[in-house]
Structure 1
C-alpha cells in the first residue's frame, strides 16, 4: 500500500514558541529544524511512503513535495485527505526526535489492519500522528485535548499505537531533557 504522509510545520519564526522561557528564538528555530529534518529522514527510508510538507513557506533545504497552508491545520489536513481518499493517509508531527522507522511502520500497519490508528503523546492528551487506511476518514482535531476528541469520534474503530518515538514530542522546557539524554546515550 502507498501512504501519503503529511508533516505539518509552522513557518520560521513561530516554531516551538512554548519553549521561549528556556530557549532564545534562534535556538528554538534550530531545534525545530533539526527535529523536522530527522522526521523527514525517517520517512524517506520507509518503502511506500510519499511525504508531503504542510507549511506556509517551503522549509529551508526541503526539495520534496510541499503545500503552502492557507487555513487552519485541521482544515488543511481534511482537504489533503479528501484529495487522496483512495490512498493510505497519515499525518505525523514534525517534533518527534526519537522517531524511528519501526514506529511509523507500526502505525501504518495498525491503520492497515483496523482502518484507523492514533498515536497519543506521552501525557495521553495530545495526538502526534493519525493514520487512515484507504476509504477511511476522520474529522481532524489537532489542538488541546485532541486525543480524547479523536477517540470519541473513532471509538473502537481506531487502534492506539504507543511507542516512545511516536509519543515523545518536544513542547515544554522539561521535554528538552529528553533530547539531552537521547543525544548523550
Structure 2
C-alpha cells in the first residue's frame, strides 16, 4: 500500500513538473501579447490624451491582467514617487523587480529595457516611434514564442508523465 502511494506521488509530482514547464511556454506568449496591448494603450494615452506617464501607466495597470498589469501599476506608482530619477531608470528597476513574476526570456527583457531607456526623454512623436518599434519587436518575439509553445508544450507534458513513470518503474 505504501509502495502504491509513493509511486502515485512520484508520478503526480513528475507530471505536474512537466505541466508547469509546459505552461511557461504558453505564459510567455500570453505576456508578450499583454505587453503589446499595454504599449498600444500607452501610445493612445500619449498621442491622443496627452496623459502624464505616471498616470498613463497606472491606467494601463488597472486595465491589463497581472503580472503585466502589476508591472504597469508599479511603474505608475514608482514614477509618481521617484523624484529626480529618470523614467527609463524607473522602468528598468520595475522590470528587474518583476523579473520572477514575468515569464519573459532575456531577448524579451532586452527589447523592453531598450524601450524603457527612451521613455520620457523626447517629444510625443518620437515616443510614438519608439513605442511602435517596441511593439513590432515584441510582435516578432510573440511569433517565436507561439512557435516554441506549439513545439514544446506537448513534449513537456508527455515528458513529465513519462519521467514519472520511468522513476516509478526504477523504484519498484
Q: TM-score, normalised to structure 2's length?
A: 0.30
Higher helix share: 2
- Max Rg structure: 2
- Higher relative contact order structure (alpha carbons within 8 Å, sequence separation ≥ 6): 2
Q: TM-score, normalised to structure 1's length?
A: 0.29
Higher strand share: 1
